[in-house]
Chain A
Amino acid sequence: MNNGENMRLNGEADEEDDDDDANGGLAAWERTYADDRSWEALQEDESGLLRPIDNKAIYHAQYRRRLRSLSSLATTARIQKGLIRYLYIIIDFSRAATEMDFRPSRMAVVAKHVEAFVREFFDQNPLSQIGLVTMKDGVAHWLTDLGGSPESHVKALMGKLECSGDASLQNGLELVHGYLNQIPSYGHREVLILYSALNSCDPGDIMETVQKCKTSKIRCSVIGLTAEIFICRHLCQETGGSYSVALDESHFKELLLEHAPPPPAIADSAMPNLIKMGFPQRAAESSIAICSCHKEAKVGGGYTCPRCKARVCELPTECRICGLTLISSPHLARSYHHLFPIIPFDEVTDKVLHDPRHQTPKVCFGCQESLMNPGNSPGIRVSCPKCKQHFCLDCDIYIHESLHNCPGCESFRRPKLATYDE
């Protein structure tokens, strides 16, 4: 699903690239080199020869460092995942977004990373909502209403990838202020502006708008793609947001993803509590029922409130009849791997490997890849401190970064587990 969207995005971006005459006057063959940046994948060895960078070893070393810093971080920081944040993302699609200092263009880069951000945001804040607004031709366009489904936002964004005219910071802020001012007070109001332009074309006094946002307790943050601008800094300072300017694509991605976890100021002020929730069942594809949200008869899909049995179309929502908060349990479960992280695996030392008393497994427990060197001596591997199974380096990374289960620990029933039941 994710890939499909990506490919479509790239496809469109490429087309746009081709149509664009202002391409620095490069010939097609020159452009392929410029786009690939193939020289970045080379390094010079001792004798001055160019060699491809040995990515695998570097990658694994980087990963181990990241893993260590993550596990030390996890013990100190406690993130409030149950916060209800209402976030509007305002994207600058003015003429400035066609600039090609980001490849293939600022617009394509912004869209690609906003897609990743939206998904990450909902992983980290399953109860929160996002809305999208674009700025172009001096006005602000409303793209999606506040909602909790990443798919609908991504779809709406990818369908509207074009830039023109000027950006208007004031119009953008006025538009989202109108929406955010109406949401209930338990929700946290936030705006994130991705700003390409160096100017703002406003109909009135923007300082008044900044003060309006401040009094409505809307936290405004800006990520610039060009250079620091006074009005953006002023806006962020006044409303308690953060302001940063991206140096390149990877820096932009980093800055954007920093906004996915709740800002510390909000996380500290919220009181922990228990929220009563229902986990509805999805109805059979062939069933017919009248939904309580649209009051229409619908075939298939839909969810049934476990308390009053009313039918609703979408999750998360609150039941119109009995008021219970309804959420699909997988929605919550997406973040559980943060709660029960698997411990980093240990590198198996040479001493242990060559100790004749130890039996060294010949294949990786996870993927069955051979762990032996060509000369049939035991090769490099890691082992789980709990279950003592051996894994290859690729599985090590996959297990900690995506799977979040140790196949070894999951494959043996420990006597301890049996006492859990009843």
Chain B
Amino acid sequence: MASAPSKLYADDVSLLVVLLDTNPFFWSTSSLPFSKFLSHVLAFLNSILVLNQLNEVVVIGTGYASCKYLYNSSSYSNHGLEDGRMPALCTRLLKNLEEFVIGDEQSIKEDPRGGTMSSLLSGSLSMALCHIQKVFRSGSLHPQPRILCLQGSPDGPEQYVAIMNAIFSAQRSMVPIDSCYIGSHNSAFLQQASYITGGVYLKPQQMDGLFQYLSTVFATDLHSRTFLQLPKSVGVDFRASCFCHKKTIDMGYVCSVCLSIFCKHHKKCSTCGSVFGETPVELDSVSKQKRKTPE
């Protein structure tokens, strides 16, 4: 299942799965209004469909309390203009998006005490990967899939394990995860996702030019990418989340049995139940006499 498919199909046909962050907590604080953001994204998606008539676009909404498929270009014809005004992409997507956002806000009202500001990236990533597996199953002639995360919300450390699972599965199926992060700080999850899967991570500086960033960096198919000078990585935040408080840490204690990460010394591992000795081990104390490199 997980093995990568053969590459018999044309290498410049793309399936772009866009994960659209609709988290109302983020958009209510963002300097870029959601409607402006949407007009950039719609123009970008239209340009993908125009670049090659075989290209496909799937949009999944990443909400605060739910995730949902919003649009799939292969189920509607995008030829011509519906009732003479707007292409199907806009009408369909906007209609589904509106329903989704209203439903999502409804569930926030039902459970208002959440302290976290993150959106459910792990859910939309998992759905995107399931969809891409379906495309792989459809036979040897299929477009080259990639995932683009349009994310603004901060990372939700409680999703750490789920997001890492999704990243490794994407890596095994050779699906790159591109990220365009429009929040205020960098996203460690998306930096790792793009680094591990060979995608591009970008944090645009000028929000007014979002369309230009999207179309120059993320519009090219995977084959043409090899000829481009894409933005270089500005580093990857490899910090982990501790299992005890879901806090992001750069140093911690690791259980030798199950490799769970903790931010401070515990007597017992909460994941596997192992009981530890009093003092934590630093491996270096023994490896001082490390062997010399043999000739």
Contacts and interface: CB of A to CB of B under 8 A. Distances in A.
A281 interface: yes
In the complex, which of the residues B4, B114, B130 has the most CB atoms of chain A within 10 Å of its own CB atom? B130
B134 interface: yes
A397 B169 CA distance: 13
A27 interface: no
Interface stretch (A34-42, A105-113, A318-326): A318-326
Interface stretch (B33-41, B220-228, B246-254): B246-254
B259 A323 contact: no
Interface residues of B, number: 94
A112 B254 CA distance: 33
Contacts of B116: 417-418, 421
Contacts of A183: 291
A259 interface: no
Nearest to B61: A411
B286 A395 contact: no
Contacts of A287: 235
Contacts of A405: 122, 126, 162, 165-166
B1 interface: yes
Interface in A1-37: 1-3
Contact of B249 (A279, A300, A411): A279
A418 B156 CA distance: 11
B274 to A, nearest CB: 4
B123 interface: yes
Given A285-B232, A366-B127, A401-B1, A279 B239 contact: yes
Contact of B114 (A184, A324, A395, A418): A418
Contacts of B289: 184
A306 interface: yes
Given A273-B276, A330-B192, A333-B164, A82 B131 contact: no
B190 to A, nearest CB: 13
B130 A407 contact: yes
Contacts of B64: 413
Interface string A161-184: 000000000000000001100111
Contact of A410 (B162, B168, B171): B162
Nearest to B293: A145
A67 interface: no
A339 B272 CA distance: 8
A398 B282 contact: no
B111 A418 contact: yes
B146 to A, nearest CB: 15
Nearest to A267: B257
Contact of B126 (A303, A325, A401, A411): A411
B209 interface: no
A1 B2 CA distance: 13
B262 A421 contact: no
Contact of B240 (A81, A279, A286): A279
B216 interface: no
Nearest to B112: A418
Given A81-B258, A418-B115, A275 B280 contact: yes
B281 interface: yes
A236 B285 CA distance: 33
Given A333-B240, A402-B173, A411-B127, 5 more contacts: A82-B258, A84-B283, A186-B286, A366-B130, A415-B111
